[in-house]
Protein backbone atom coordinates (compact mmCIF):
# COMPACT_ATOMS: atom_id res chain seq x y z
CA UNK A 1 0.00 0.00 0.00
CA UNK A 2 2.80 2.38 0.78
CA UNK A 3 3.91 2.09 -2.82
CA UNK A 4 0.69 3.72 -3.85
CA UNK A 5 1.18 6.62 -1.51
CA UNK A 6 2.35 9.24 -4.03
CA UNK A 7 -0.60 8.50 -6.23
CA UNK A 8 -3.30 8.62 -3.62
CA UNK A 9 -1.93 10.76 -0.83
CA UNK A 10 -3.90 13.98 -0.76
CA UNK A 11 -3.23 16.83 1.59
CA UNK A 12 -6.57 18.09 2.80
CA UNK A 13 -8.90 16.76 0.22
CA UNK A 14 -12.48 15.86 0.88
CA UNK A 15 -12.65 13.84 -2.31
CA UNK A 16 -10.40 11.08 -3.54
CA UNK A 17 -8.68 11.68 -6.82
CA UNK A 18 -9.63 9.58 -9.81
CA UNK A 19 -6.69 7.38 -10.75
CA UNK A 20 -4.31 9.09 -13.16
CA UNK A 21 -2.18 6.08 -13.90
CA UNK A 22 -1.02 5.27 -17.39
CA UNK A 23 -3.70 3.13 -18.92
CA UNK A 24 -6.34 4.74 -16.74
CA UNK A 25 -8.93 2.72 -15.01
CA UNK A 26 -7.78 -0.65 -16.31
CA UNK A 27 -4.53 -0.62 -14.34
CA UNK A 28 -6.32 0.67 -11.29
CA UNK A 29 -8.81 -2.16 -11.55
CA UNK A 30 -6.12 -4.80 -12.13
CA UNK A 31 -3.85 -3.67 -9.30
CA UNK A 32 -6.63 -3.35 -6.75
CA UNK A 33 -8.25 -6.63 -7.72
CA UNK A 34 -4.96 -8.42 -7.17
CA UNK A 35 -4.39 -6.55 -3.90
CA UNK A 36 -7.90 -7.36 -2.66
CA UNK A 37 -7.62 -11.03 -3.57
CA UNK A 38 -4.24 -11.35 -1.85
CA UNK A 39 -5.45 -9.34 1.14
CA UNK A 40 -8.61 -11.40 1.61
CA UNK A 41 -6.93 -14.78 1.22
CA UNK A 42 -4.01 -14.00 3.51
CA UNK A 43 -6.08 -12.28 6.19
CA UNK A 44 -8.63 -15.10 6.10
CA UNK A 45 -5.81 -17.56 6.78
CA UNK A 46 -4.63 -15.34 9.62
CA UNK A 47 -8.18 -15.24 10.97
CA UNK A 48 -8.52 -19.02 10.88
CA UNK A 49 -5.22 -19.43 12.71
CA UNK A 50 -6.07 -16.68 15.21
CA UNK A 51 -9.52 -18.04 15.94
CA UNK A 52 -8.36 -21.62 16.43
CA UNK A 53 -5.49 -20.59 18.67
CA UNK A 54 -7.55 -18.05 20.56
CA UNK A 55 -10.50 -20.34 21.11
CA UNK A 56 -8.05 -22.99 22.23
CA UNK A 57 -6.53 -20.73 24.84
CA UNK A 58 -9.98 -19.63 26.02
CA UNK A 59 -10.81 -23.30 26.56
CA UNK A 60 -7.43 -24.02 28.23
CA UNK A 61 -6.27 -25.93 25.16
CA UNK A 62 -3.27 -25.20 22.96
CA UNK A 63 -4.85 -25.06 19.55
CA UNK A 64 -3.01 -26.20 16.43
CA UNK A 65 0.75 -26.09 17.04
CA UNK A 66 2.19 -28.87 14.88
CA UNK A 67 2.54 -27.36 11.40
CA UNK A 68 5.17 -24.67 11.26
CA UNK A 69 6.10 -22.36 14.14
CA UNK A 70 3.13 -21.96 16.51
CA UNK A 71 1.02 -23.87 13.99
CA UNK A 72 1.11 -20.87 11.66
CA UNK A 73 0.99 -23.08 8.57
CA UNK A 74 -2.06 -25.02 9.75
CA UNK A 75 -4.50 -23.12 7.45
CA UNK A 76 -2.15 -23.79 4.51
CA UNK A 77 -2.03 -27.48 5.36
CA UNK A 78 -5.82 -27.56 5.68
CA UNK A 79 -6.22 -25.83 2.34
CA UNK A 80 -3.90 -28.29 0.61
CA UNK A 81 -5.68 -31.22 2.23
CA UNK A 82 -9.10 -29.96 1.20
CA UNK A 83 -7.93 -29.32 -2.37
CA UNK A 84 -6.73 -32.89 -2.73
CA UNK A 85 -9.95 -34.44 -1.47
CA UNK A 86 -12.47 -36.14 -3.69
CA UNK A 87 -15.39 -34.03 -4.84
CA UNK A 88 -18.50 -35.93 -3.82
CA UNK A 89 -21.92 -35.04 -5.23
CA UNK A 90 -24.92 -36.82 -3.69
CA UNK A 91 -26.87 -39.06 -6.04
CA UNK A 92 -30.15 -37.22 -5.46
CA UNK A 93 -28.63 -33.75 -5.58
CA UNK A 94 -29.78 -31.07 -7.98
CA UNK A 95 -26.45 -31.17 -9.77
CA UNK A 96 -26.44 -27.72 -11.35
CA UNK A 97 -27.62 -25.92 -8.22
CA UNK A 98 -25.23 -27.96 -6.12
CA UNK A 99 -22.36 -26.98 -8.39
CA UNK A 100 -23.31 -23.31 -8.66
CA UNK A 101 -23.97 -22.70 -4.96
CA UNK A 102 -20.35 -22.18 -3.80
CA UNK A 103 -19.71 -19.80 -6.67
CA UNK A 104 -22.83 -17.78 -5.95
CA UNK A 105 -21.89 -17.63 -2.28
CA UNK A 106 -18.25 -16.76 -2.91
CA UNK A 107 -18.41 -14.06 -5.58
CA UNK A 108 -20.41 -11.39 -3.68
CA UNK A 109 -18.18 -11.81 -0.65
CA UNK A 110 -15.17 -10.87 -2.75
CA UNK A 111 -17.13 -8.05 -4.37
CA UNK A 112 -17.81 -6.52 -0.95
CA UNK A 113 -14.19 -5.49 -0.62
CA UNK A 114 -14.40 -3.23 -3.67
CA UNK A 115 -15.69 -0.32 -1.59
CA UNK A 116 -13.59 -0.70 1.55
CA UNK A 117 -10.94 2.03 1.77
CA UNK A 118 -7.49 0.89 2.89
CA UNK A 119 -6.34 4.46 3.14
CA UNK A 120 -7.47 7.78 1.72
CA UNK A 121 -8.70 6.98 -1.76
CA UNK A 122 -7.04 3.58 -1.83
CA UNK A 123 -10.00 1.50 -2.81
CA UNK A 124 -11.14 -0.30 -5.93
CA UNK A 125 -14.23 1.82 -6.54
CA UNK A 126 -15.07 4.96 -4.58
CA UNK A 127 -18.79 4.58 -5.13
CA UNK A 128 -20.87 7.44 -3.84
CA UNK A 129 -23.37 4.81 -2.67
CA UNK A 130 -20.65 2.63 -1.12
CA UNK A 131 -22.47 1.49 2.00
CA UNK A 132 -25.67 0.82 0.06
CA UNK A 133 -23.64 -1.29 -2.36
CA UNK A 134 -22.18 -3.18 0.59
CA UNK A 135 -25.58 -3.87 2.12
CA UNK A 136 -26.99 -4.99 -1.22
CA UNK A 137 -24.09 -7.24 -2.15
CA UNK A 138 -23.64 -8.78 1.28
CA UNK A 139 -27.05 -10.42 1.28
CA UNK A 140 -26.53 -12.14 -2.08
CA UNK A 141 -24.30 -14.83 -0.63
CA UNK A 142 -27.38 -15.99 1.28
CA UNK A 143 -28.78 -17.05 -2.09
CA UNK A 144 -25.73 -19.24 -2.56
CA UNK A 145 -26.21 -20.75 0.88
CA UNK A 146 -29.86 -21.42 0.17
CA UNK A 147 -28.93 -23.02 -3.15
CA UNK A 148 -26.49 -25.24 -1.28
CA UNK A 149 -29.17 -26.29 1.18
CA UNK A 150 -31.72 -26.88 -1.56
CA UNK A 151 -29.45 -28.60 -4.02
CA UNK A 152 -27.99 -31.06 -1.53
CA UNK A 153 -31.33 -32.86 -1.14
CA UNK A 154 -30.62 -33.32 2.53
CA UNK A 155 -33.19 -32.28 5.10
CA UNK A 156 -30.58 -30.94 7.51
CA UNK A 157 -29.01 -28.83 4.81
CA UNK A 158 -32.40 -27.46 3.86
CA UNK A 159 -33.30 -26.68 7.47
CA UNK A 160 -30.00 -24.90 7.91
CA UNK A 161 -30.52 -22.88 4.73
CA UNK A 162 -34.02 -21.88 5.86
CA UNK A 163 -32.60 -20.71 9.17
CA UNK A 164 -29.96 -18.67 7.39
CA UNK A 165 -32.53 -16.97 5.18
CA UNK A 166 -34.72 -16.24 8.20
CA UNK A 167 -31.88 -14.72 10.19
CA UNK A 168 -30.52 -12.66 7.29
CA UNK A 169 -33.95 -11.27 6.41
CA UNK A 170 -34.58 -10.36 10.04
CA UNK A 171 -31.20 -8.91 10.88
CA UNK A 172 -30.78 -6.97 7.65
CA UNK A 173 -33.27 -4.37 8.90
CA UNK A 174 -31.60 -3.32 12.17
CA UNK A 175 -28.20 -3.43 10.47
CA UNK A 176 -29.33 -1.08 7.71
CA UNK A 177 -31.06 1.22 10.22
CA UNK A 178 -27.92 1.32 12.36
CA UNK A 179 -25.93 2.14 9.23
CA UNK A 180 -28.35 4.94 8.46
CA UNK A 181 -27.40 6.67 11.72
CA UNK A 182 -23.76 6.71 10.64
CA UNK A 183 -24.73 7.98 7.19
CA UNK A 184 -26.70 10.81 8.80
CA UNK A 185 -23.69 11.84 10.85
CA UNK A 186 -21.24 11.62 7.95
CA UNK A 187 -23.57 13.12 5.38
CA UNK A 188 -22.38 10.68 2.73
CA UNK A 189 -22.86 7.09 1.62
CA UNK A 190 -19.31 6.80 0.33
CA UNK A 191 -17.17 4.79 2.73
CA UNK A 192 -14.13 6.93 2.04
CA UNK A 193 -15.97 10.08 3.01
CA UNK A 194 -17.51 8.41 6.05
CA UNK A 195 -13.95 7.76 7.22
CA UNK A 196 -12.92 11.32 6.40
CA UNK A 197 -15.87 12.62 8.44
CA UNK A 198 -14.79 10.77 11.59
CA UNK A 199 -12.80 13.29 13.56
CA UNK A 200 -14.38 11.58 16.54
CA UNK A 201 -14.79 7.84 15.85
CA UNK A 202 -18.49 7.17 15.40
CA UNK A 203 -18.43 4.44 18.05
CA UNK A 204 -18.44 7.31 20.57
CA UNK A 205 -21.14 9.35 18.85
CA UNK A 206 -23.19 6.27 17.94
CA UNK A 207 -22.67 3.75 20.76
CA UNK A 208 -26.16 2.29 20.41
CA UNK A 209 -25.78 2.10 16.65
CA UNK A 210 -22.49 0.28 17.08
CA UNK A 211 -24.05 -2.24 19.47
CA UNK A 212 -26.97 -2.89 17.11
CA UNK A 213 -24.71 -3.11 14.06
CA UNK A 214 -22.32 -5.48 15.81
CA UNK A 215 -25.06 -7.84 17.02
CA UNK A 216 -26.86 -7.72 13.69
CA UNK A 217 -23.70 -8.24 11.67
CA UNK A 218 -22.66 -11.18 13.86
CA UNK A 219 -26.06 -12.72 13.21
CA UNK A 220 -25.88 -12.03 9.49
CA UNK A 221 -22.55 -13.75 9.03
CA UNK A 222 -23.74 -16.54 11.33
CA UNK A 223 -21.06 -16.25 13.96
CA UNK A 224 -21.68 -17.72 17.37
CA UNK A 225 -23.94 -17.23 19.33
CA UNK A 226 -26.09 -16.95 16.20
CA UNK A 227 -24.53 -19.84 14.27
CA UNK A 228 -27.81 -21.70 14.05
CA UNK A 229 -27.26 -22.77 10.49
CA UNK A 230 -24.17 -24.71 11.51
CA UNK A 231 -25.50 -25.94 14.83
CA UNK A 232 -23.54 -29.17 14.66
CA UNK A 233 -25.44 -30.75 17.52
CA UNK A 234 -28.67 -30.45 15.55
CA UNK A 235 -27.80 -30.22 11.86
CA UNK A 236 -24.48 -32.09 11.48
CA UNK A 237 -22.72 -29.33 9.52
CA UNK A 238 -25.71 -27.46 8.17
CA UNK A 239 -25.83 -26.38 4.55
CA UNK A 240 -22.35 -27.70 3.67
CA UNK A 241 -22.94 -31.20 5.00
CA UNK A 242 -22.94 -32.64 1.48
CA UNK A 243 -19.95 -30.68 0.23
CA UNK A 244 -16.36 -31.81 0.11
CA UNK A 245 -13.13 -30.84 -1.52
CA UNK A 246 -12.83 -27.47 -3.21
CA UNK A 247 -16.52 -26.59 -2.87
CA UNK A 248 -16.34 -27.06 0.88
CA UNK A 249 -13.19 -24.94 0.93
CA UNK A 250 -15.09 -22.18 -0.85
CA UNK A 251 -17.83 -22.23 1.77
CA UNK A 252 -15.25 -22.17 4.53
CA UNK A 253 -13.55 -19.26 2.80
CA UNK A 254 -16.91 -17.47 2.48
CA UNK A 255 -17.53 -17.81 6.20
CA UNK A 256 -14.26 -16.17 7.16
CA UNK A 257 -14.23 -13.67 4.31
CA UNK A 258 -17.65 -12.50 5.51
CA UNK A 259 -16.21 -12.14 9.01
CA UNK A 260 -13.36 -10.15 7.49
CA UNK A 261 -15.77 -7.95 5.51
CA UNK A 262 -17.86 -7.26 8.58
CA UNK A 263 -14.75 -6.50 10.65
CA UNK A 264 -13.59 -4.12 7.94
CA UNK A 265 -16.98 -2.43 7.71
CA UNK A 266 -17.25 -2.03 11.48
CA UNK A 267 -13.73 -0.61 11.54
CA UNK A 268 -14.64 1.75 8.71
CA UNK A 269 -18.02 2.90 9.96
CA UNK A 270 -17.43 3.09 13.69
CA UNK A 271 -13.73 2.94 14.51
CA UNK A 272 -12.38 5.59 12.18
CA UNK A 273 -11.22 3.28 9.38
CA UNK A 274 -7.63 3.94 8.35
CA UNK A 275 -7.33 7.09 10.49
CA UNK A 276 -5.04 7.09 13.45
CA UNK A 277 -1.90 8.77 14.76
CA UNK A 278 1.76 7.80 14.13
CA UNK A 279 1.28 4.53 12.24
CA UNK A 280 0.67 4.30 8.48
CA UNK A 281 -3.03 4.20 7.56
CA UNK A 282 -3.12 0.65 6.18
CA UNK A 283 -1.55 -0.61 9.41
CA UNK A 284 -4.17 1.20 11.49
CA UNK A 285 -6.85 -0.36 9.32
CA UNK A 286 -5.40 -3.86 9.81
CA UNK A 287 -5.08 -3.33 13.57
CA UNK A 288 -8.71 -2.25 13.79
CA UNK A 289 -9.87 -5.21 11.67
CA UNK A 290 -8.04 -7.65 13.91
CA UNK A 291 -9.37 -5.97 17.04
CA UNK A 292 -12.95 -6.32 15.81
CA UNK A 293 -12.36 -9.93 14.82
CA UNK A 294 -10.88 -10.63 18.24
CA UNK A 295 -14.09 -9.41 19.84
CA UNK A 296 -16.12 -11.57 17.44
CA UNK A 297 -14.36 -14.81 18.35
CA UNK A 298 -14.11 -13.78 21.98
CA UNK A 299 -17.91 -13.66 22.02
CA UNK A 300 -17.96 -17.01 20.21
CA UNK A 301 -15.88 -18.49 22.99
CA UNK A 302 -18.19 -17.09 25.65
CA UNK A 303 -21.85 -17.11 24.75
CA UNK A 304 -23.84 -20.31 24.12
CA UNK A 305 -25.90 -20.68 20.96
CA UNK A 306 -29.40 -19.20 21.02
CA UNK A 307 -32.58 -20.98 19.96
CA UNK A 308 -34.26 -20.07 16.68
CA UNK A 309 -37.19 -18.36 18.42
CA UNK A 310 -34.78 -16.37 20.57
CA UNK A 311 -32.93 -15.38 17.41
CA UNK A 312 -36.09 -14.06 15.81
CA UNK A 313 -37.30 -12.40 19.03
CA UNK A 314 -33.99 -10.59 19.46
CA UNK A 315 -34.16 -9.21 15.94
CA UNK A 316 -37.78 -8.09 15.87
CA UNK A 317 -38.46 -7.17 19.49
CA UNK A 318 -35.11 -5.79 20.60
CA UNK A 319 -32.93 -4.67 17.72
CA UNK A 320 -35.57 -3.27 15.38
CA UNK A 321 -37.28 -0.84 17.84
CA UNK A 322 -33.94 0.25 19.23
CA UNK A 323 -32.60 0.81 15.72
CA UNK A 324 -35.62 2.96 14.86
CA UNK A 325 -35.20 4.97 18.07
CA UNK A 326 -31.49 5.33 17.39
CA UNK A 327 -32.22 6.65 13.92
CA UNK A 328 -34.76 9.12 15.34
CA UNK A 329 -32.40 10.39 18.04
CA UNK A 330 -29.52 10.72 15.60
CA UNK A 331 -31.72 12.60 13.14
CA UNK A 332 -32.80 15.04 15.86
CA UNK A 333 -29.21 15.58 16.93
CA UNK A 334 -28.08 16.19 13.37
CA UNK A 335 -30.98 18.56 12.87
CA UNK A 336 -30.09 20.61 15.96
CA UNK A 337 -26.33 20.70 15.36
CA UNK A 338 -25.80 20.61 11.59
CA UNK A 339 -22.22 20.17 10.52
CA UNK A 340 -20.29 18.58 13.37
CA UNK A 341 -21.74 17.36 16.63
CA UNK A 342 -20.35 18.73 19.92
CA UNK A 343 -18.17 16.23 21.76
CA UNK A 344 -20.35 16.55 24.87
CA UNK A 345 -22.91 14.47 22.99
CA UNK A 346 -20.64 11.45 23.52
CA UNK A 347 -21.73 11.19 27.16
CA UNK A 348 -25.34 11.96 26.31
CA UNK A 349 -25.43 9.23 23.68
CA UNK A 350 -23.80 6.67 25.94
CA UNK A 351 -26.36 7.49 28.64
CA UNK A 352 -29.16 7.16 26.08
CA UNK A 353 -27.79 3.78 25.03
CA UNK A 354 -27.67 2.46 28.60
CA UNK A 355 -31.18 3.67 29.39
CA UNK A 356 -32.66 2.28 26.18
CA UNK A 357 -30.97 -1.12 26.52
CA UNK A 358 -32.12 -1.46 30.13
CA UNK A 359 -35.62 -0.37 29.21
CA UNK A 360 -35.92 -2.77 26.32
CA UNK A 361 -34.51 -5.65 28.32
CA UNK A 362 -37.30 -4.86 30.79
CA UNK A 363 -39.89 -4.93 28.01
CA UNK A 364 -38.54 -8.23 26.88
CA UNK A 365 -39.63 -9.83 30.12
CA UNK A 366 -43.22 -8.73 29.62
CA UNK A 367 -44.27 -12.12 28.28
CA UNK A 368 -44.23 -13.40 31.87
CA UNK A 369 -40.53 -13.98 31.54
CA UNK A 370 -41.08 -16.63 28.90
CA UNK A 371 -39.29 -14.72 26.17
CA UNK A 372 -35.81 -13.74 27.15
CA UNK A 373 -32.54 -13.11 25.49
CA UNK B 1 -33.63 -5.44 39.30
CA UNK B 2 -31.04 -8.07 38.54
CA UNK B 3 -28.42 -6.52 36.33
CA UNK B 4 -27.23 -9.95 35.21
CA UNK B 5 -30.23 -10.02 32.90
CA UNK B 6 -29.46 -6.67 31.33
CA UNK B 7 -26.05 -7.29 29.85
CA UNK B 8 -23.97 -7.59 32.98
CA UNK B 9 -24.13 -11.39 32.74
CA UNK B 10 -22.58 -11.37 29.29
CA UNK B 11 -19.94 -8.92 30.49
CA UNK B 12 -19.05 -11.24 33.36
CA UNK B 13 -18.77 -14.17 30.97
CA UNK B 14 -16.57 -12.16 28.64
CA UNK B 15 -14.31 -11.21 31.56
CA UNK B 16 -13.94 -14.87 32.55
CA UNK B 17 -13.07 -16.04 29.04
CA UNK B 18 -10.62 -13.16 28.66
CA UNK B 19 -8.84 -14.15 31.85
CA UNK B 20 -8.73 -17.74 30.55
CA UNK B 21 -6.76 -16.49 27.54
CA UNK B 22 -3.78 -16.11 29.86
CA UNK B 23 -4.32 -19.35 31.73
CA UNK B 24 -1.86 -22.21 31.32
CA UNK B 25 -3.26 -24.80 28.91
CA UNK B 26 -3.69 -28.24 30.45
CA UNK B 27 -3.16 -30.14 27.21
CA UNK B 28 -0.69 -33.00 27.43
CA UNK B 29 1.25 -33.12 24.19
CA UNK B 30 1.42 -36.86 24.30
CA UNK B 31 4.44 -38.17 22.47
CA UNK B 32 6.63 -35.44 23.94
CA UNK B 33 5.03 -35.08 27.35
CA UNK B 34 3.80 -38.05 29.31
CA UNK B 35 1.94 -38.15 32.55
CA UNK B 36 3.28 -40.32 35.34
CA UNK B 37 0.87 -43.12 36.03
CA UNK B 38 -0.42 -43.84 39.48
CA UNK B 39 1.91 -45.62 41.88
CA UNK B 40 -0.81 -48.19 42.48
CA UNK B 41 -1.01 -49.21 38.83
CA UNK B 42 -0.61 -52.92 38.24
CA UNK B 43 0.60 -52.58 34.68
CA UNK B 44 0.03 -54.91 31.78
CA UNK B 45 3.37 -56.46 30.98
CA UNK B 46 5.74 -58.85 32.65
CA UNK B 47 9.28 -57.93 33.67
CA UNK B 48 11.59 -60.82 34.30
CA UNK B 49 14.89 -60.70 36.16
CA UNK B 50 17.54 -63.02 34.75
CA UNK B 51 19.77 -62.74 37.80
CA UNK B 52 17.16 -63.68 40.36
CA UNK B 53 15.36 -66.33 38.37
CA UNK B 54 16.29 -69.88 39.32
CA UNK B 55 14.22 -71.58 36.69
CA UNK B 56 11.88 -73.21 39.18
CA UNK B 57 8.87 -72.70 36.84
CA UNK B 58 6.52 -71.79 39.68
CA UNK B 59 5.24 -68.91 37.57
CA UNK B 60 4.34 -71.23 34.71
CA UNK B 61 2.41 -73.45 37.12
CA UNK B 62 0.62 -70.46 38.63
CA UNK B 63 -0.48 -69.05 35.29
CA UNK B 64 -4.18 -69.84 34.86
CA UNK B 65 -3.92 -69.37 31.11
CA UNK B 66 -0.73 -71.28 30.54
CA UNK B 67 0.79 -68.39 28.71
CA UNK B 68 4.25 -68.79 30.21
CA UNK B 69 6.55 -71.22 28.45
CA UNK B 70 9.78 -71.95 30.35
CA UNK B 71 12.54 -74.40 29.39
CA UNK B 72 15.63 -74.77 31.57
CA UNK B 73 18.86 -76.69 31.41
CA UNK B 74 18.56 -80.12 33.13
CA UNK B 75 21.58 -79.71 35.42
CA UNK B 76 21.72 -77.66 38.56
CA UNK B 77 24.54 -75.07 38.61
CA UNK B 78 25.06 -72.93 41.75
CA UNK B 79 21.70 -74.17 43.01
CA UNK B 80 19.85 -72.81 39.94
CA UNK B 81 18.85 -73.95 36.51
CA UNK B 82 19.98 -71.91 33.54
CA UNK B 83 16.89 -70.65 31.77
CA UNK B 84 17.12 -71.47 28.08
CA UNK B 85 13.72 -70.23 27.01
CA UNK B 86 11.34 -67.95 28.82
CA UNK B 87 8.52 -67.03 26.49
CA UNK B 88 5.21 -65.38 27.29
CA UNK B 89 2.37 -65.04 24.82
CA UNK B 90 1.07 -61.69 25.98
CA UNK B 91 -1.90 -62.11 23.68
CA UNK B 92 -3.13 -64.71 26.15
CA UNK B 93 -1.98 -62.92 29.30
CA UNK B 94 -4.85 -61.54 31.37
CA UNK B 95 -2.59 -59.44 33.62
CA UNK B 96 -3.86 -61.20 36.72
CA UNK B 97 -0.48 -61.01 38.39
CA UNK B 98 -0.65 -64.52 39.88
CA UNK B 99 2.78 -65.36 38.49
CA UNK B 100 4.28 -62.33 40.22
CA UNK B 101 2.70 -63.34 43.50
CA UNK B 102 3.81 -66.94 43.09
CA UNK B 103 7.48 -66.28 42.35
CA UNK B 104 9.43 -67.42 45.43
CA UNK B 105 12.57 -65.49 44.47
CA UNK B 106 11.04 -62.10 43.63
CA UNK B 107 12.27 -62.44 40.07
CA UNK B 108 9.07 -61.50 38.28
CA UNK B 109 7.32 -58.11 38.29
CA UNK B 110 4.58 -56.34 36.47
CA UNK B 111 5.74 -53.35 34.41
CA UNK B 112 3.93 -50.05 34.03
CA UNK B 113 4.81 -49.19 30.43
CA UNK B 114 1.69 -48.86 28.37
CA UNK B 115 2.71 -48.45 24.72
CA UNK B 116 2.52 -52.10 23.89
CA UNK B 117 0.39 -52.16 20.76
CA UNK B 118 1.70 -54.37 17.97
CA UNK B 119 0.90 -54.75 14.32
CA UNK B 120 1.04 -58.58 14.14
CA UNK B 121 -0.23 -61.18 16.52
CA UNK B 122 3.03 -63.10 16.57
CA UNK B 123 4.79 -59.97 17.80
CA UNK B 124 2.83 -60.39 21.01
CA UNK B 125 4.91 -63.45 21.89
CA UNK B 126 7.72 -62.08 24.03
CA UNK B 127 11.00 -63.82 24.60
CA UNK B 128 13.13 -63.38 27.66
CA UNK B 129 15.20 -60.71 25.96
CA UNK B 130 12.05 -58.67 25.42
CA UNK B 131 11.18 -58.47 29.09
CA UNK B 132 14.48 -58.65 30.85
CA UNK B 133 14.78 -56.33 33.83
CA UNK B 134 18.53 -56.12 33.27
CA UNK B 135 18.09 -54.58 29.83
CA UNK B 136 17.33 -51.31 31.58
CA UNK B 137 14.38 -50.57 29.34
CA UNK B 138 11.73 -52.18 31.54
CA UNK B 139 10.11 -50.45 34.47
CA UNK B 140 8.64 -52.47 37.28
CA UNK B 141 5.37 -51.35 38.75
CA UNK B 142 4.62 -51.53 42.46
CA UNK B 143 2.28 -54.48 42.17
CA UNK B 144 2.84 -56.97 45.04
CA UNK B 145 6.00 -55.05 46.03
CA UNK B 146 4.96 -52.02 48.11
CA UNK B 147 8.58 -51.06 48.70
CA UNK B 148 8.97 -50.64 44.94
CA UNK B 149 5.76 -48.66 44.75
CA UNK B 150 7.07 -46.20 47.33
CA UNK B 151 10.04 -45.39 45.09
CA UNK B 152 8.00 -44.69 41.97
CA UNK B 153 7.55 -41.06 40.87
CA UNK B 154 4.40 -39.39 42.06
CA UNK B 155 1.44 -39.43 39.75
CA UNK B 156 1.10 -36.31 37.59
CA UNK B 157 -2.25 -34.62 37.85
CA UNK B 158 -3.59 -32.49 35.04
CA UNK B 159 -3.56 -29.46 37.34
CA UNK B 160 0.18 -29.89 37.87
CA UNK B 161 2.63 -28.30 35.51
CA UNK B 162 3.72 -31.16 33.29
CA UNK B 163 7.49 -31.45 33.38
CA UNK B 164 8.06 -35.18 33.42
CA UNK B 165 9.30 -36.73 30.25
CA UNK B 166 9.54 -40.43 30.60
CA UNK B 167 11.22 -41.02 27.31
CA UNK B 168 14.43 -39.24 28.28
CA UNK B 169 14.56 -39.07 32.06
CA UNK B 170 15.70 -41.89 34.28
CA UNK B 171 12.91 -43.86 35.75
Does B160 reside within a domain? no
Contact residues, chain A to chain B, C-beta under 8 Å: 54, 56-62, 298-299, 301-303, 357-358, 361-362, 365, 372
- pLDDT classification of A355: cutoffs 50, 70, 90: confident
Q: pLDDT digits over A193-216, tens only?
A: 888 888 888 888 888 889 999 999
Q: How far is A323 from chain B (nearest CA, A)?
A: 18
Whether residue A20 is predicted with pLDDT greater than 70 in this model: the reply is no
Whether residue A74 is predicted with pLDDT greater than 60 in this model: the reply is yes
- pLDDT classification of A15: cutoffs 50, 70, 90: very low
The reply to whether residue A58 touches residue B17, judged by beta carbons under 8 angstroms, is yes
Interface TM-score (ipTM) > 0.85: no
Q: How far is A211 from chain B (nearest CA, A)?
A: 12
Does B127 reside within a domain? yes
Residues above pLDDT 90, as percent of chain B: 12
Helix spans in chain A (H) = 5-8, 25-58, 74-84, 95-112, 130-138, 141-151, 155-186, 191-196, 202-205, 207-220, 232-235, 245-270, 281-300, 308-313, 320-336, 345-364
Please provide the distance, in angstroms rounded to a whole number, between the alpha carbons at the two ends of chain B.
Answer: 60
The reply to whether residue A357 touches residue B24, judged by beta carbons under 8 angstroms, is no
CB nearest to A61's CB, from B6, B17, B25: B25
CATH number for B65? 3.30.70.3270
Average pLDDT over residues A4-27: 51
> What residue of A is the nearest CA neighbor of B24?
A60
The reply to whether residue A302 touches residue B6, judged by beta carbons under 8 angstroms, is no
Instruction: Report the alpha-carbon angle A97-A101-A102, nearest 5.
Output: 145
Boundaries of domain holding B122:
3-151
Residue that wins the pLDDT comparison between A358 and A271: A271
Q: Are A140 and A104 in contact (CB under 8 A)?
A: yes
The reply to whether residue A302 touches residue B14, judged by beta carbons under 8 angstroms, is yes
d(CA A154, CA A148): 10
- pLDDT classification of A370: cutoffs 50, 70, 90: low
Does B30 reside within a domain? yes
What 3-state class would DSSP assign to A142?
A: helix
Q: How far is A60 from chain B (nearest CA, A)?
A: 4
CB nearest to B10's CB, from A59, A303, A365: A303
Strand partners, B3: none
Helix axes A320-336, A155-186, angle to 10 degrees: 10
Q: How far is CA B92 from the centre of its chain?
A: 18
Contacts of B164 (CB under 8 A, 6+ apart): B33, B34, B35, B36, B153, B156
Q: pLDDT digits over A274-297, tens only?
A: 887 888 888 888 899 999 999 998
Count of all residues that appear for chain A in the document: 373
Does B62 reside within a domain? yes
Which chain B residues have a beta carbon less than 8 Å from that of A361?
5-7
Q: How far is B165 from chain A (nearest CA, A)?
A: 19
CB nearest to A361's CB, from B5, B13, B24: B5
The contacts found for A330-338 with CB under 8 angstroms, 24 or more apart, are: A330/A181, A330/A184, A330/A185, A330/A206, A330/A209, A331/A184, A334/A184, A334/A185
Residue A24's pLDDT is 66
Which of A172-176, A307-311, A367-371, B33-37 shows the lowest per-residue confidence on average (mean pLDDT)?
A: A367-371
> What residue of A is the nearest CA neighbor of B12?
A302
Does B163 reside within a domain? no
Q: pLDDT digits over B64-120, tens only?
A: 999 999 999 888 888 888 888 999 988 898 989 899 999 999 999 998 888 888 899
Q: Are B73 and B80 in contact (CB under 8 A)?
A: no
Whether residue A17 is predicted with pLDDT greater than 80 in this model: the reply is no
Which of B2, B9, B10, B21 best tests the A interface by mutation, with the highest count of A CBs <10 A? Answer: B21
CB nearest to B17's CB, from A62, A298, A358: A298
Strand partners, B71: B85
Which chain B residues have a beta carbon less than 8 Å from that of A62?
25, 27, 29
Which chain B residues have a beta carbon less than 8 Å from that of A357?
6-7
Does B165 reside within a domain? no
- pLDDT classification of B37: cutoffs 50, 70, 90: confident
- pLDDT classification of A11: cutoffs 50, 70, 90: very low
Residue B16's CB is within 10 A of a number of other CB atoms, namely: 11
Whether residue A4 is predicted with pLDDT greater than 50 in this model: the reply is no
The reply to whether residue B7 touches residue A54, judged by beta carbons under 8 angstroms, is no
Does B81 reside within a domain? yes
CB nearest to B17's CB, from A302, A365, A372: A302
CB nearest to B14's CB, from A298, A361, A362: A298
Number of domains chain B contains: 1
Q: State the pTM of this model.
A: 0.80
Whether residue B169 is predicted with pLDDT greater than 80 in this model: the reply is no
Does B158 reside within a domain? no
Average pLDDT over residues A209-225: 87
Strand partners, B70: B86
Amino acid sequence: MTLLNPVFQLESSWKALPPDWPGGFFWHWLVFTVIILAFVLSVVMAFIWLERRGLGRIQARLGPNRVGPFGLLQPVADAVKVLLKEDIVPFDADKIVHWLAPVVAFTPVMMMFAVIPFQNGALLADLNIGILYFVAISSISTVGIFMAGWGSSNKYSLLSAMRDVASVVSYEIPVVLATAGVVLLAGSLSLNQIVLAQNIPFILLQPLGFLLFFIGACAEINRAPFDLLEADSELTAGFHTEYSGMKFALFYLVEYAEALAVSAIIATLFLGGWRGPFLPPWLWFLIKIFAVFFVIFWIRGTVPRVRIDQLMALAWKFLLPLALLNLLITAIEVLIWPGTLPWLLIFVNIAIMIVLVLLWSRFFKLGWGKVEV
Amino acid sequence: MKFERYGLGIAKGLAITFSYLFRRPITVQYPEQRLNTSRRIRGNELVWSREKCTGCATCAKACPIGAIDIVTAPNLVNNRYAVEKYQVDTGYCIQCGLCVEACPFAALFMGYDYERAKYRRNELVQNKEDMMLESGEKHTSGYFYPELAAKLPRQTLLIDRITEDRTTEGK
